[in-house]
Every structure is written in structure tokens, then in C-alpha cells.
Amino acid sequence: MSESFVELRSVNKSYWRDRLEIPVLNNINLSVPEGEFVALMGPSGSGKTTLLNLIAGIDRPSAGEVSVNGESVSQLSEGALARWRSRNIGFVFQFYNLMPVLNAFENVELPLLLTRLSRSERRRQVETALTIVGLADRMKHYPNQLSGGQEQRVAIARAIVTDPRLILADEPTGDLDKVSAEEVMELLSRLNKEFNKTIIMVTHDPRAAEKAHVWRHLDKGELNNKQ
Amino acid sequence: MKVLKLVSKNATRHLLRTALTILGLAIAVMAFAVIRTSIDAWYAGARASSPNRLVITNAISLVFDLPVAYKDKIAQIDGVTGISWAQWFGGTYVDPKNFFPQFAIDGETYLDLYPEYIIPSEQREAFLSERNAVIVGRALADRFGWSIGDPIRLTGTIFPGEWDFVIRGIYTGKMETTDESQWFMRYDYLDERMKVEAPPRAGQVGSFIVQIDDPSRAAQMSAFIDSLFVNSLAETKTQTEEAFQLSFVAMASSIVTGLRIVSFMVIGIILLVLANTMAMTARERVSEYAVMKTLGFRPIHIVGLIFGESLVIAGIGGLLGVIITFPINGLLAEVIKDYFPIFKLDPLTLVLGLVSSLIVGFVAAVFPTLKAVRTPIVDGLRIID
Ligand SMILES: Nc1ncnc2c1ncn2[C@@H]1O[C@H](COP(=O)(O)OP(=O)(O)OP(=O)(O)O)[C@@H](O)[C@H]1O
Ligand SMILES: [Mg+2]
């Protein structure tokens, strides 16, 4: 595949704490074509979340380049980056990170508030997203009235409501029981197959990883291919 | 707007905390308003004064008198259109606690200089035709349930003995700031008894009140009047009525200064209360702000959320404070009306209270906002509640 959707070239990342350099990622090269479903695995502290954050444009590499769909993410200004994220990235967190004061509908609607969509257009899109995740009947529920699995599905609806081409998920099943995890994986798999979303997912769970097509292993900041 | 909804939802997230903060703000704004009203009350006399009146007292001190005979010399000065005099009587009505200001005045001239005391003409006639007649203010009459024709006995302190009077007039104030708590008795009633009982004290007055035709010449005329009595037995001190009234405030200046300081401290306390609430709030929401930023919300949105919440809380607190100020101030005015007859809420005070709380709302939001905006997304996301 010549055309890569997500491309990392010689990416290095270090954190600085008290003038001490903590190297986290070391010379990462990664190329993900559009429509791919990648599972990113590796021991705790190996830099998986860091890598995902670099692709999402919520963190910047110390060296090297990150590009998504031809856009050099690492070179955008903060404001441009924020706008870019809102259009191109759907992010799914391990702990769902829904707004507790907003109900399911409002949580999913949140990213759309940054668009020029009218109220009715927003409504339609939110309903579509919630229908895809199978929670159209829970729109008025608040996060504390939902199970963990349902919360994560609302979070996935929030991630897809702007129709981004890339979905990044950081241990999306890490906090779920087996059945809920299965449902969430089923959903991600469907988004990949039916809607051709490119997905990069960090996971520790081998069962979750089964749904992916490509497995990458991070160890001590180095990326190994692992078919 | 959607943001407003989020602001209000955030504000009511910890209902008890928000309610307590609002209550704290309200009480502080009320305290601020009441303290400022108290400060205003000290200045009520000065504000009600007329620029056309000068007050002449003994140059040494208020407690020393002046010879009533000075009046003729003063009356002849060019620009003086009226003169009268008064003596502080200082009697006790039944109980020393029943304090009210009592002046022995020259009936013929005094009331002409004070057009702000409105007296029906027949009551004024009655006052002039009876030696022990008195005119009292409406508020004073109400306080003791006096009406026209009532005999009243005062016990003299400065002028010893029992003194019998009859109420012959009740005046009302022309303006809201006119003091309606005074008692005016006749100077000649006092003076004639002094001639018999304490001759050296006869013919003495506490102050002269001079009406002038041109307020812009007040300073010049005051100096001229004082120059007339230089090197006489009782030198004079002439000042505008306003300056005279302010000299009373000056006697209490440390109290007034203290009140001023307290009123600013109250504002400082509201700031601490709200800043604390906002800091707690921002700390709890670090990860939420990080999520919003991940979704593409920009610093300006976060600024709007935090400032919005702080200003909403401050605004409601301030408004509630203004609302509770009315009854509290009214209650207080009732309690201290014998000493501060003019205890009126100035609209400006309420505006100041409200504006202060909004400024506090603004300031309290600055630090949490800076923190929320500056925290990198990845750091915000690492904090898991
Ligand atoms: N903001 C930061 N400041 C300092 N060090 C950090 C920061 N973020 C990550 N690190 C360090 O970078 C390394 C990789 O962290 P990262 O969160 O990417 O690991 P991970 O592979 O996602 O681990 P886990 O499986 O536990 O989630 C860790 O040693 C971590 O302590
Ligand atoms: Mg991680």
C-alpha cells in the first residue's frame, strides 16, 4: 500500500521533569493506510498512550513528523490543531470521560457545538450516532444512569458524530466486563467495516485485539512489527 | 445558547456548595451596603446643610458660649440677610436613654432661616405666643406618642431643674434628608430663668446662624466675622453649615475610618469565598477541560465556561445581597433612629455592592482559568478522578 493515511516518521518523544529527560518514544516509524484497524499493544509504560496522543494532535513530538491524511499535524498552531482535531479525529478514552452534567444526547452533541450546523441538523446527527451505537433509547440518560459499557458506547457516538475518518481509542475496553467489552469491540469492528473508519486502538486485551487486522507492539519506546 | 446551559449545569453541580457560596456573597454584599449606609448616616447632617448658612461658635470649643449681644454687630454686615441663635439644652426626658437633640432657639428668627422645617402657620403662631411652647419633629413626636397640647417635663442637666413645656407645633421635613427628630424650645424661656437662677449664664448662646445672600463669598465673610471679635472675651469661629456638620464627623473620624476599612475587608472576604469555590471547581474539572480541548474546544471556550460560572454565582449572590439589604437596613434604621435619624440606603451603594461582587466574580475566575487553559491536554487527561 503506497498511500498511507497516518504516517509517523522518525518520531521521538521525551518528557522533561525537573530538567531530567525521560525518553518515551524512540525513532518511531509507522504507516497506516486508510480503512485499517490497528491494535497497539505493549507493556504498561511503554508509550502507547503517548503515541496515540501524538497522532491525535493533543501532544507534540520532540522530533520527527506526524502526518494524517497528508496534513502535517506537528506543524499546526494550537488553534489550527484544535480545529483540525474537531474535524478529523474521534477519540475514545479508557474511562469514557463523559461530561457528568450532560445527558447522553448532550454529550454526543458537544463536538457539534463547534460546527455551524443548525439545531435540527445537530439533532439528526446525534440521533444517527446514538442509533449506530444502539443507544437511541437512552438519549435522556445521564452518565451515572448508564452502565460502563453504555457509557463507552455513548463516548464512541461522541467520537463518530462529526464523522471523522480516524478513530483513536485508548484501551476502550480496559474498564469493562467481558460482555460489555465484546459489545464495544463489535461496534468498533463495525465502524471499521461498514463505515470504513481507520482505527488505531491501544489494548492490553488479546480478545479485543482479535478484531484488529494489524498488530503493533511497543516495547520500551520502540515499535516492532508483529503480524 | 448551549454554553450558557453548560455554565448553569456546572454551577448547580454541587448545589449545596454553590448555595453556600451565593449566601456568603449575599451576606457580604448586604454587610457592605449597611456599613456604607452607616458611613453616609454620619454625613447626613453635612449633606442636608444649606450653602447659604454660616454657623458661628466659640473659637475655643463648642462647649463654650458666645454673648447673644454679638448678634447686632453681625446683623449689620453687608451680605448678611438673616441671623438667629440657638443654645443646646440637653435635658432628660423621663430616662437618660431617651436621647434627642434639644435646642433653645429664638422663635422670631430661627425658623425663617430653616425653610426645610415645615410648620403650619397657626402652630407657629402658638409657639410664638407662649413662653414654654415647643415645636418637635414628626419622627420625635411619633417616637414618644406626643401630640399637640401635650405637657412635657424635661429635667435639665446643663441647665438644672425641672422644666415644663407644652407641645404647640410639629414640623415635617421638606426633604427626605431633613432631620425630623429635633426639639425646639424658646430661648427666652431658658434665658429668663437663667437671669434669676444663674445670672452669669444668662445672655449666652451656643451658636449663631447667619444667612448670607451669596454662598460664593462664604469664606470671605466667615473671616470677616471672626475678625470683628478678635481679642474680645469670646473669639468666634465662623464656618459654613456644611463644615460645621463635618466637624462632628471629624470627631468620630476614627470610627468612620474603621467602618470604611471594614467595608473593604468585606469585599476581600467575598473574594476569598468565591475564589475558593472556583479553585475547587477548576481542580475537579481538570480532566473535563482536557476532554473538551481534545474534542477541539479552544481556550476561549474554557475561559467562557469558568468566567461564566463565576460571574453567574457572583451576580446571583450580589443580587440576593441587594434584595436582603432592604429589610436588614430598614430594621437597623429602626433600631438606631434616635441617634441616626437619617439612615437611608443610597442607590449608589447598592450599585457599588453589585459591581463589587461582579468584579469579585471576575477576579475569582482569573486564576482557575489560567490554570485550566495552561494545563497541557495530556496532563489534564492523566488526572483521573
Ligand atoms: N506528561 C507526562 N510527563 C512525564 N512523563 C510522562 C508523561 N506522560 C507519560 N509519561 C511517561 O511516559 C511513559 C509512557 O507513558 P504512556 O502513558 O504512554 O504509557 P502506556 O504505554 O500508555 O502505559 P499504560 O499501559 O500504563 O497506559 C511512562 O513512563 C510515563 O511515566
Ligand atoms: Mg496508556
CA angle A204, A207, A208 (to 5 degrees): 65
Which whole number is the average pLDDT over B215-242? 92
Residue whose Cα lies nearest atom 12 of ligand 1: it is: A24
Which domain CATH number covers A163?
3.40.50.300
* A142: pLDDT strictly greater than 70: yes
Residues from A contacting B (CB-CB < 8 Å) are 50, 53, 56, 58-59, 78-79, 82-87, 91, 93, 95, 97, 99-102, 109-111, 113-114, 158
pLDDT in tens, B152-173: 999 999 999 999 999 999 999 9
Lowest mean pLDDT among A42-51, B243-252, B367-376: B243-252
The proportion of chain A whose per-residue pLDDT surpasses 70, expressed as a percent, equals 98
- Note whether B294 and A56 are within 8 A (CB): yes
Mean of all residue pLDDT scores within chain B: 91
pLDDT recorded at residue B1: 56
Lowest mean pLDDT among A149-153, A167-171, B61-65, B211-215: B61-65
Chain B residues touching residue A108 (CB < 8 angstroms): none
pLDDT in tens, B102-154: 999 998 899 999 999 999 999 999 999 999 999 999 999 999 999 999 999 99
Query: Which domain covers residue A127, as residue numbers?
Result: 4-225
- What's the N-to-C CA distance of chain A in angstroms? 16
pLDDT recorded at residue A1: 44
* A226: pLDDT strictly greater than 70: no
Across the interface, of A83, A95, A110, the residue whose CB is closest to B384 is A95
Chain-centroid distance of CA B303 in Å reads 41
Which whole number is the average pLDDT over B30-56? 89
Strand ranges (E), chain B: 53-58, 66-67, 80-88, 102-105, 117-118, 133-137, 151-156, 161-173, 183-186, 204-205, 207-212, 236-240
Number of independent structural domains in chain A: 1
Q: Work out the number of other CB atoms within 10 angstroms of the CB of residue B360.
A: 28
Residue whose Cα lies nearest atom 24 of ligand 1: it is: A44
Chain A residue closest in CA terms to B3: A113
Task: Assign residue A214 a region (left: φ > 0; alpha: ψ between -120 and 50; beta: otherwise).
Answer: beta
* CB-based contact A53 B296, cutoff 8 Å: no
pLDDT in tens, A83-108: 999 999 999 999 999 999 999 999 99
DSSP state of B92: B
Q: What is the ipTM of this complex?
A: 0.94
Across the interface, of A59, A85, A113, the residue whose CB is closest to B2 is A113
Can you tell me the distance from the alpha carbon of A27 to that of A21, in angstroms, rounded to the nearest whole number?
16
Can you tell me the distance from the alpha carbon of B321 to that of B32, in angstroms, rounded to the nearest whole number?
9
Chain A residues touching residue B381 (CB < 8 angstroms): 58, 93, 97
Q: Which of A83, A200, A189 is nearest to B295 (CA)?
A: A83
Across the interface, of A86, A93, A100, the residue whose CB is closest to B296 is A86
* B2: pLDDT strictly greater than 80: no
- Note whether B316 and A81 are within 8 A (CB): no
* B378: pLDDT strictly greater than 50: yes
**If DSSP codes are grouped into helix, strand and coil, which group holds residue B232?**
coil
Segments making up each domain of chain B, as ranges:
2-44+253-382, 53-213
pLDDT in tens, A117-137: 999 999 999 999 999 999 999
Chain A residues touching residue B293 (CB < 8 angstroms): 58, 82
Can you tell me which atom of ligand 1 is nearest the CA of A47? Answer: 18
pLDDT recorded at residue B4: 78
Which whole number is the average pLDDT over B79-99? 93
* CB-based contact B287 A113, cutoff 8 Å: no
Residues in chain A: 227
Q: Work out the number of other CB atoms within 10 angstroms of the CB of residue B293.
A: 24
pLDDT recorded at residue B43: 85
pLDDT in tens, A27-56: 999 999 999 999 999 999 999 999 999 999
State the Cα torsion B187-B192-B193-B198 to the nearest 10°. Answer: 100
